Amino acid sequence: MIDSRRIRLDRIASAVRHAGVSREVIIGPEIVCEEGHVLAVRILNDKRVYNQVESSDGRLVPLRRGDVLAGVLGARRALRGYAGDVPGSLRVGDTINVLNLGGVLGRCTASNPDLGPPFEAEVLGAVLSFPKLGDRVGRPAHIRDRAIPPAPSLECSTPLVLVAGTCMSSGKTVAASEIIRGLARDGRTVGGAKLTGVSLRRDALSMVDSGAAVGLSFNDAGVVSTHEAEVLPAAYALLNELEARCAPRVIVAELGDGILGEYGVQALLADPAIRALLRCLVVCAPDQVGAWGATAILRSDYGLRPTVISGPVTDNAVGKSYIAGELGIPAWNARREPERLVTAVLEVLDA
């Protein structure tokens, strides 16, 4: 058996931040192959693209061959990125992949040609946690250790603006950030949340930079990547926490991935407690087919209608005229017409 040993980390990924990991850690050979457990790995190759990791403070920093990284085991199902799973077993010396910028680790099952193959990394061991002062025997660290606990029910009563999309990179974060900026400038205290997706701090930080009093993501609830089984307790926990921390007048929540993805968006759209708070539904789409499809699915599966449509489909008059004329829904571009987008949201919030 390999003894536990002390090592120094070069990089601590943002997905790990609730595990209480410092630069110097003790690692052990017994690896629990379950989502959320923290590993120390050594990067084995250099990459020219998608060659960074988001650090615990939210900065993107380069990853180089030889760097020792603290990452977290998890799955990813990205249409325009890497897909991968948590291996059934791992030993010290095995090879694993870095699946996203947040430092999620798993075995890659599919990659995107624009990104090239993912980083390969040698498993050095499980990062150990010593929760009690004076403990000599550590236990495998987990990102739930210092996270917001899951909530069995939704106690929050704050009106909710949901920003959903047809897929990743459809303009959701830009739309959510501009809506938050406009609502904050209107004098409203705004809470921001990223309720689904795979761990990355960037979107919640963008919400804070745009004027949200507090910005949280599912990672703050100890979740690496969301799925149907745990998305509701994590979402309830975040919404309850936002109301308790900043007493917002409105919460703007982004649903990462798409309404047909595998991150649990469907469970949130169908949940009676979430729907009871829903005042405004913003949908982002890349083109007319996406806008039509999202509208049809929301109507047929959930009895919902978008309040406004944004995203690349609204980049010029072609998409906007289709949405307004054929779908009968307002269409405003978050980059070029943020004021009009915010006005559409305010109209339904104040109705």
pLDDT on residue 184 = 98
What average pLDDT is seen over the chain? 95
pLDDT of 301 over the 60 cut: yes
**Whole-angstrom Cα distance, residue 18 to residue 204?**
15
Place of tokens 């993805």: 261
The residue extents of the domains of the chain are 5-140, 160-349
Residue pLDDT, tens place only, 63-81:
999 999 999 999 998 878 8
pLDDT of 299 over the 50 cut: yes
Mean pLDDT for the stretch of residues 162-187: 96
pLDDT on residue 53 = 98
| Distance set, CA 210 to CA 56, 180, 191, 246, 339 (Å) | 20, 6, 11, 16, 14
**Whole-angstrom Cα distance, residue 121 to residue 54?**
17
The residue ranges of DSSP E strands in the chain, in sequence order, are 5-8, 11-12, 24-28, 38-43, 52-54, 60-62, 68-73, 76-77, 83-85, 95-98, 104-110, 119-129, 139-140, 160-165, 190-196, 214-217, 250-255, 278-284, 308-310
Q: Write down the CATH superfamily of domain 160-349.
A: P-loop containing nucleotide triphosphate hydrolases (3.40.50.300)
Global model pTM greater than 0.85: yes
pLDDT of 200 over the 60 cut: yes
pLDDT on residue 236 = 98
Going by pLDDT thresholds of 50, 70 and 90, the confidence category of residue 130 is confident
% of the chain beyond a pLDDT of 90: 92
pLDDT of 134 over the 90 cut: no
pLDDT on residue 133 = 59
pLDDT of 136 over the 90 cut: no
Mean pLDDT for the stretch of residues 203-226: 97
Mean pLDDT for the stretch of residues 207-222: 98
Residue pLDDT, tens place only, 315-334:
999 999 999 999 999 999 99
pLDDT of 215 over the 70 cut: yes
Mean pLDDT for the stretch of residues 189-208: 97
% of the chain beyond a pLDDT of 70: 98
pLDDT on residue 162 = 98
Q: Which amino acid is at 165?
A: G
pLDDT on residue 169 = 87
Alpha helices in 202-337 (DSSP H): 202-209, 231-246, 265-270, 272-277, 288-302, 317-322
pLDDT on residue 314 = 97
pLDDT of 235 over the 70 cut: yes
Which of 169, 175, 179, 192 is CA-nearest to residue 256? 169
Residue pLDDT, tens place only, 239-276:
999 999 999 999 999 999 999 989 999 999 999 999 99
**Whole-angstrom Cα distance, residue 318 to residue 7?**
57
pLDDT of 1 over the 50 cut: no
pLDDT on residue 135 = 61
pLDDT of 125 over the 80 cut: yes
pLDDT on residue 78 = 83
pLDDT on residue 132 = 67
